[in-house]
Amino acid sequence: MKLVFKAMALMAVLTACSNEDNNWDATGMFEATEVTVSAEANGRLIHFDVDEGYTFKTGQEIGLIDTTQLYLNKMQLRAGMRAADIRIPDIQKQIAVLEQRMATARTEKNRMKRLVAASAGNQKSVDDWDHQLDLLERELTAQRSTLRKTSGSGSAEVERLRYQILQIEDQLYKSVIRAPRKGTVLRRYAAAGEMTAIGKPLFKMADLDIMYLRVYLTGLQLSKIKLNQQLTIRVDDGDDFRTMKGTVTWISDKAEFTPKGVQTKDERSEDVYAVKLTVKNDGYLKIGQYGDISFKAEEHD
C-alpha cells in the first residue's frame, strides 16, 4: 500500500508540472546584438586594454596600433607642403617692375606729345614711345600668364599634399581602437604586443542591457500576438522560475521549417514564424539561456 501511495504522489507531482508547462505557449532562446570589432590599421598593438567581461561606453578608447611611421609620413608631407608654398610666386611683386616701366613710358609719351603740340618735338619720338608701350604690354601679358601657371601648379601641389595629410590623419584616427557602441566584451581575439592588420577581428561585444528572446510560433499562435504587445516570460533560474515582461518588436512575414531544437505548443506543425521579444535585462539573463512565453500575461502577473 505504501508503494501505491508513493506512486500516486509521484504521478500527481508530474501531472502538476505538466499542467504548469502547458500554461506556456512557446520556448525560445535569449540573444543580443553582437558586434565584432576589427582592426582598421596595420601594425603592432601598442596598447589593448580588453578582456572578456569588460564593459565599455560608446567611443571609449581601449587600444592603440603603432603610429610611428604614420606620424613621420605626416611630418614629411608637411615639410613638402611648406616647400611647395614657398615656390608659389607673388604675382603682384613679380610684375611690379614692368608696371613701373609702363607708367614711365606713358609719362614720357605724354610729355613728347605736348612737345610736338608746341612744335618743340617730333612725331617720331611719340611713335617710338607707342611702340615701347606695346612691347611692355605684351611682355606683361606673357609674364602674368607664366606666373599664373606657376602659381596654379604650386597651389595644386599644396592641395595634393594637404589631401595626403588628411589621409594620414584619418589613418592615425583609425589606429586608435574605440568601442563602437556601449556593451560588454564577449570574446577577445588579440592581445597587446601582437601584430594586427586591417580587417583582423580584435574582439566581440554586445549590449547586454537589452536582450531579445527569439521564439517560433505556429500559424495559429501567430494570430494571438501583435507588434508592441507585452507578453509574460518565464526563466528557470535553477531553484525556481522568474517572470518578466517582454515586448514583441519583430514578427517574421515568412514561414520556415521548424529549426532544430525549437519548442512550440503544436509539435506537429512543420512551418513556424520567428518572433522577437525585447526584454530589459536585470543582469540575470544570459545569451543562449532559454525562456518560455505566455500569451495570457494577466494569468502570470
Asked whether 256 and 68 are in contact (CB, 8 A), the reply is no
> In terms of domains, do 49 and 118 share one?
no
Per-residue confidence (pLDDT) for residue 133, from 0 to 100: 83
Instruction: Report the pLDDT value the prediction gives residue 269, as an integer from 0 to 100.
Output: 52
Residue that terminates a domain, selected from 175, 208, 238: 175
Residues 192 and 264 in one domain: yes
Same domain? 243 vs 152: no
Is 7 within the bounds of a domain?
no
201-206/34-38 β-pairing: antiparallel
* pLDDT given at position 268: 46
Domain-terminating residue out of 138, 155, 175: 175
| Packing angle of the helix pair 123-175, 91-117 (nearest 10 deg) | 170
Q: What is the pLDDT of residue 21?
A: 54
The enclosing domain of 219 has a CATH number of: 2.40.30.170
Residue 17 lies in a domain: no
Judge if 203 and 167 occupy the same domain: no
Looking at the 3D structure of the chain, how many domains does it have?
A: 2
Question: Across 57-127, where does the E strand assignment appear?
Answer: 61-65
What pLDDT sits at residue 11? 38
Residue 108, SS3 per DSSP: helix
Domain-terminating residue out of 175, 197, 223? 175
**pLDDT, position 60:** 96
The answer as to whether 16 is a domain residue is no
Do 186 and 248 belong to one domain?
yes
Distance CA 236, CA 271 (A): 27
Helix axes 123-175, 68-87, angle to 10 degrees: 170
Cα separation, 53 vs 283, whole angstroms: 13
Q: Compute CA distances 249 → 124, 187, 214, 277, whole Å.
A: 98, 27, 10, 6
Beta carbons of 26 and 292 less than 8 angstroms apart: yes
Pair (119, 211) in one structural domain: no
Residue 81 CA: distances (Å) to CA of 170, 179, 199: 18, 35, 32
Query: Do 85 and 151 sit in the same domain of this protein?
Result: yes
Q: What is the pLDDT, as a whole number, of residue 47? A: 95
Instruction: State the Cα–Cα distance between residues 107 and 237, nearest whole angstrom.
Output: 104
The reply to whether 5 falls in a domain is no
pLDDT at 260: 59
C-alpha cell at 70: 604614420
Whose cell is 504587445? That residue is 229
- At 263 the pLDDT is 57
32: in domain: yes
How high is the pLDDT of residue 264? 54
Residues of the chain with pLDDT under 50: 1-19, 268, 298-301
CA angle at 27 for the pair 22 and 29, rounded to the nearest 5°? 160
Quote the domain boundaries for residue 97. Answer: 68-175
Q: Do 51 and 183 fall within a single domain?
A: yes
- Cα(68)–Cα(171) distance, rounded to whole angstroms? 12
Q: Is residue 4 part of a domain?
A: no
Q: Are residues 139 and 219 in the same domain?
A: no
| Distance, CA of 78 to CA of 89 (rounded, Å) | 19
Same domain, 157 and 198: no
212/234 same-domain check: yes
Structural domain includes residue 291: yes
Cell of 200: 583582423
Regarding whether 234 and 220 lie in a shared domain, the answer is yes
Pairing verdict, β 183-188 and 263-264:
unpaired
10, part of any domain: no
Q: 36-69 pLDDT, tens per residue?
A: 999 999 999 999 999 999 999 999 999 999 999 9
pTM of the shown model: 0.70
Give me 217's grid cell. Answer: 510560433
